[in-house]
Structure formats: C-alpha cells, structure tokens
Chain A
Amino acid sequence: MDRIVVVGSGPSGVHFALSVLRKGYDVTMVDVGFPKPAVVAPDSTFRGLKENLDDPVRYFLGEKFEGVVLPQPGREYYGIPPSKNYVFRTPAGFDNVTRGFAPLFGFAQGGIAEVWTGGCYPFNADELSDFPFSYAELGPCYGEVARRIGVCGAADDLARHFPVHDNLLEPLELDGHSAVLLAKYEKKRALIQGEWKCSVGRTRVAVLSRDLGSRKKCTYLGRCLWGCPTGAFYTPSLTLAECREFPNFHYVTGVRASHVRLDANRRVSHVVVAPADGGNPQEIPAERVALAAGALSSSQIYLESMYRHTGEVLKLDGLMDNRQILVPFVNLGLIGQPYNPESYQYHQVGMGIEQGTPKEYVHAQVTTLKTAMLHPIIQNLPCDARLASFVVRHFHAALGIVNINLHDTRRPGNSVTLDVQTAPGRPRLVIEYSPAKGETEVIRRAVRTVRKALGALGCIVPPGMTHVRPMGASVHYAGMLPMSRTAGEHTVSETCESHAVKNLYLVDGATFPFLPAKNITFTLMANAVRVADAAF
C-alpha cells in the first residue's frame, strides 16, 4: 500500500488519517503540533477553581494578565481564555498580509478546532447542490463521525435545516435559561415560525451525554469555555491520540510543511518541512499526500508548491467565511434570579431562519453566558463600574448572546496569493476579502428577525450593543480549490484529488464550493471520511 503523508492534525487531517489507518495504510502525519498544557484540577467545578487554586487569577487571566479585556472600541464581548493561548502560538517566521480579512491560525495538536464551540450541523441537500456529490453519499459519513466523536441533539423543529444522521446521542441537560427559552418557544411557535419563518430548537453539539468508549459523559462542571477537563467535549486532539495508537502511524511533530516537491510528471515526490522554531528544511518522501492544514494553510502550500515548480505566482479566488453578528439580549423573566454555573456552557439552543432561497438560510446559536468573564460586559455599560456591577450581578441569569451566521459564496477578488518579493525564499500568504454587495441589508434583516423572535421569547435586545464581527473571526474558511466534476484550473475532483497534481489530495475546507451559514467542522470531518472511503 502507498505511504500517505498527511499535513496537519485538525479535524480533517485526523479523521482522514484514522480512516486510512484502519484500511492498513502507512500514514505519516507532519504537524507543528504545539501540545496542550496539562489539565488543571480536572475534577473541579468552575467555582471550585476560583476557590481552590493557589493562583486562580493566573489561570483565569493569564501569566501576563492578557485575559483582561480593557476598554477599547470594537473589542469582543469575550475572548479566548489564557488556558487556550497555546492554540494561537505561531511558528518562527510565520507571517501573512491581509486586506479586509482578520484570519486566525492554529498550530496546536488538533488545530484551531481545539477552541471550537462544538456545533455539528450537517449540510442538507440544497446546501450540497454545488458539491459534486449528494447528501446520500455524505449522510453515512456524518453518522460515522458522530459515532467516533459523540454528537448529541434532538430531532426537533431545527431538523428541517440540518438532517438527522445516525448515532445521534440524546441531548444534554438544559441549563435553566435555555430551558426557559425553549418552554416559551413551545407557546409562541405559531407566531415565530409563521410570521418570521424562524425555528428554534436544540443545537447539535460534540459532547457526550453518555459514556463513549473510554470517554465519560459530561458532568456539568461548567468549565467548557475554559477547556473541558474531562474529554466529554470533543476536540480533534482526541482523535489524534487514537491515531497514535496505530503501529502504522508516524507522527512527525515540531515541523511546518512549506510545500510539496513535484517530479517531472507533476506528481508529488516529497513533502518539504522545516522545524517550527527555525532551522534547515528536510524532505519526507511520499507516494500520496493529503493536505489538511486548514483552508488557508493548505492553499499556501499549494501556491508555494506551484511557484517552486513553475516559477509562477498564482492567485486563487473564492475565499469564503461566515459573517458573524453578535446580538446580546436580556431575558426579562430571569432578571433578579440566581443561576447555576454548573451547567453546559456553550450553545444549547439554536435558531434557523428561512430566507428567499434555501441556500440563504441563516443560522444562529444562543449562548446563555453563565461562566464567561463579566468585566468585559461591565465595562461596556454606559455608567460607573459600581452601578454596572450591580446591574450585571442582578441581570446575570438573564443575559445571553445570539451568534448569527450568514452564508458565503465564492466570488472573484476574494483571494489568496503569495508575496515572494518581501522575503525571498520564504513567501508570505496574501489574503484579500470584500463583503458581498448588499451584505448590510442581509445583516439588518437577520438581526431584525432575531430581535423579533427574542421579543416573542420574552427577551429584549439592548440598543447599540449588536456587534458585527470582522471577516475571518468565524474561522470557517473555505473555497480556494473547489471540488468540481470537470477538470478546471486549480480545482479538485469529487474525491478531492487535485486536477493538476494526481497524487495530491486536499481534504479540508479549501475544496468546498459553497459555504452555508453553519459551522463547517462537522462537514470537514465527514468529507475527510468520505474521501478516505472513496479514494483509498
């Protein structure tokens, strides 16, 4: 069997690797792979950490207090906790140029999905209409991924937007606020669905509601935002650990792949990697290569490979990402009430809003903010800190935030290319993005619908606090080397094999020809399984 080199240990890479390992292939995974720090007090609750750690401020705010969100216009309501900073560490010399796009890169074991929020939303038939395969082909792969990672949810009103697949676990226990929202929805369903074409239901999340193999079910410690200490919440590093148990798996960590070397027949012969902390490159022989470094990094490797082979600097169009809008709200019925921080902390409730065409579907997730830091909210209120603390303290149980996602399409001009002039020998990725015409109106319409639905659920949206996140913030990058049934320039086949380089596969989001308004991670994993099944 061929020796396969997989580049990257994110969701696509590890699920592709696991599938081909099970088929008996010899797999070498090359990865920067910054490791996750040891888990702090794994049995402790969120409150327990504050009460029992020797230095809780260091845990919650970081060694250099980088977790403090200081007053600054445009800042997010919450940031990445210091305990997850390792995910955003970059290798020596890492650099890029951006225009209209604020990308996030992750070089940790498991990739940037180590900080995902676990949303698992299968694309439906309409959303797959631009893909060279149907839901019938991808559906079983969703089921297989769900069997591997554990996905819980319910077949409720939202199932019309994301199909029910095999191996769906029963939903988690609801936190108090989410339970109130769903109970209210039961009474207002006719209005919310009928008038505003908005459905409300349980989100699908990659967390265990019952034991799965050696992983134990969620024990509701309330530490999700800070990094699940028990492994009940799925991240790709868990599958990486599973891959590492195979004798035919070789994990080459501490190196970053820059390009692949092509032979005279335009086939990959080697993957070229360099130590992540700087040093001389080395070449790893390969018979087949799967790029799974994330859409941007895989595109960069493709671009640099072509540049080194032909001397031509290519430009790849079609970069996509989900625009996200944060809408904070207050549930009037919960003002002045206590709350329980020992509950699941990411979204448990979602909203699905039908638009003119099925592909324009708008998806929103509702997070009820029980263990997020409060000082970013306090400092945003237009009053003194003592009054703001009083308000937040008594409104805490009632606070929530809706994260609206919009779809994106491949458009010319939203591109990636290389800058080979600034630092010869070490090309930089250049990323350009402009929003679609009419986006402002789409945002306005989506926010208005969410606001109305929240109103019907007994909530109000404080004026002036809606926040349109910059492009790049959702980290759902896709589209630069799309799947296509016919061989086009810089496209891949339906099994994600490059049309230009026959033994080169792209198994991450770079190959998606369309980006629905959904977290793509679950589909990345399912597609990687599909490719491994179909082509290997």
Chain B
Amino acid sequence: MSSTEPGALERECEGFCHYLMGRAPDAYVLAKYAEAHRLTTDYSRGSRFDRLLVSFAAWGSFSASLADSYASLFARQGILRRKLVLLLAILESSSPAHGFLDAIEPTPVFLLALQLLGRGILFGIRVLAISLVLLPLQLALGGSPPRGE
C-alpha cells in the first residue's frame, strides 16, 4: 500500500483521527491531510521499517496507539511521527477539531494525577508489548534515527 494514494491517505487520516481525538475527521481535515502529502515528500520518505510501521498504525485506533507508543521512543523522526504531527497541526488549526486541544473543564489536580498515572501505565504496557515485536524488526529492516541523534 502506498501511503500517498488518495484512498489510502483517507483511511489513514481517519484511523489517526480516531486514535488522537476519538472521532472521525471532517472533509476539510481529510483534504488538508492529503494536500500536505501532495506538496512535500516529508510524509512519505523513510526506511522500510518506517513504511511498515505506518501501514500497521493505519489499521485502526488500537494499532495506531501501539505503533505510536513505540515510535515515540524509538522512531521519533520516522514517517509515522511526522504524519501524526502533521495531523495534530491541522487539527489544532481548524474548526471544530481545535477544541480537542484547547477547551477543557477545570479538573481537580488529584483527579488529573490519577488519570495521568493510569494513562502512563497503559503507555508503558503498550511500549513493552509492542517492543517485543517491533524492536527486532527495526533492527532487521533499519529504522529512523533513535531519539536524540
């Protein structure tokens, strides 16, 4: 699957939107996501491992969360992270999606701390689980530079 084909991009964008904010993108977000891919190779250039990771993430929200958890530590500059950053930038720039980042109700700190702890633990579990599969694959296929390089 080529990640620059319109149909594939649409599915990918939908999957990533569900993953990031729990709902589908509107037509405008889909169009801007596709437009960015047409205008630059920033979101298609990468290693075999990068492309495999994107394909895996595009299966759905759960696979996206697994792939991103891994990429956030071991493939920070890879295509998947670039695509997610692009989508975040589009979402925070446009209505009505921008609300998912900047509209919150006041939350008591202890409640927030509990939520963060829970999410943090889940993140750790996801990283551990998926690393067992993806780390050997990345070493075999050659991945993006690890964090900090």
Contact = CB atoms under 8 A, between A and B. Distances in A.
Contacts of B90: 57, 61
Given A60-B93, A65-B36, A336-B106, A374 B86 contact: no
B125 to A, nearest CB: 12
Nearest to B32: A57
Contacts of B109: 335-336
A160 B8 CA distance: 62
A50 B28 CA distance: 12
Contacts of A374: 88, 92, 101-102
A437 interface: no
A396 B109 CA distance: 14
Given A64-B39, A336-B108, A375-B89, A386 B82 contact: no
Contacts of A69: 85, 89
Interface in A59-95: 59-61, 64-65, 67-73
Interface string A180-204: 0000000000000000000000000
Given A70-B82, A71-B76, A373 B107 contact: no
B101 A393 contact: yes
B77 interface: yes
A148 to B, nearest CB: 36
Contacts of A57: 28, 32, 90, 93-94
Nearest to A378: B88
B69 interface: yes
Interface string B116-149: 1001100100100000000000000000000111
Interface string A383-424: 111111111111010000000000000000000000000000
A389 B120 contact: no
Interface in A509-531: none
A329 to B, nearest CB: 17
B93 A337 contact: no
Interface residues of B, number: 53
A341 B65 CA distance: 30
Contact of A70 (B20, B42, B69, B94): B42
A281 to B, nearest CB: 37
B81 A71 contact: yes
A382 interface: yes
B98 interface: yes
A394 B112 contact: yes
A396 B123 contact: no
Contacts of A51: 95-96
B93 A61 contact: yes
A474 interface: no
Contact of A394 (B85, B93, B100, B104): B104
A79 B23 CA distance: 29
Interface centre among B72, B102, B119, B120 (most CB of A within 10 A): B102
Contacts of A71: 76-77, 81-82, 85
Interface in A268-290: none
Contacts of B39: 64-65
A390 B90 CA distance: 17
Given A336-B106, A379-B81, A389-B20, A384 B89 contact: no
Contacts of A488: none
A389 B105 contact: no
A385 B93 contact: no
A291 to B, nearest CB: 39
Chain B facing A: main interface SS: helix
Interface string B49-85: 0000000000000000100110111001100011011
Contacts of A384: 65, 68-69, 71-72, 123, 126
Contacts of A56: 93-95
A50 B95 contact: yes
A42 interface: no
A168 to B, nearest CB: 34
A373 B85 CA distance: 11
Nearest to B147: A382
B105 A385 contact: no
A286 B40 CA distance: 48
A338 B105 contact: yes
Contact of A393 (B28, B32, B89, B102): B102
Contacts of A383: 69, 72, 120, 123
Contacts of B115: 390
Contacts of B98: 47, 50
A71 B100 CA distance: 21
A390 B69 CA distance: 14
A65 to B, nearest CB: 5
Interface centre among B21, B93, B126 (most CB of A within 10 A): B93
Interface string A300-326: 000000000000000000000000000
B104 A389 contact: no
Given A50-B93, A382-B73, A393 B82 contact: no
B83 to A, nearest CB: 10
A32 to B, nearest CB: 28
Contacts of A337: 106
21 contacts: A56-B93, A65-B86, A65-B89, A68-B85, A69-B85, A70-B77, A70-B85, A335-B109, A335-B112, A336-B107, A337-B106, A341-B102, A373-B93, A375-B89, A382-B147, A383-B123, A385-B88, A386-B20, A387-B123, A389-B21, A392-B101
Please give me the 6 A-B residue pairs with the lowest Cβ-Cβ distance, nearest first: A336-B107, A60-B93, A375-B88, A51-B95, A384-B68, A384-B69
Interface of B: 19-21, 28, 32, 35-36, 39-40, 42, 65, 68-69, 71-73, 76-77, 81-82, 84-86, 88-90, 92-96, 98, 100-109, 111-112, 115-116, 119-120, 123, 126, 147-149
Given A336-B111, A338-B104, A384-B126, 15 more contacts: A52-B95, A56-B95, A60-B89, A65-B89, A69-B89, A73-B149, A338-B103, A373-B93, A378-B88, A383-B69, A385-B20, A389-B100, A389-B101, A390-B116, A396-B104
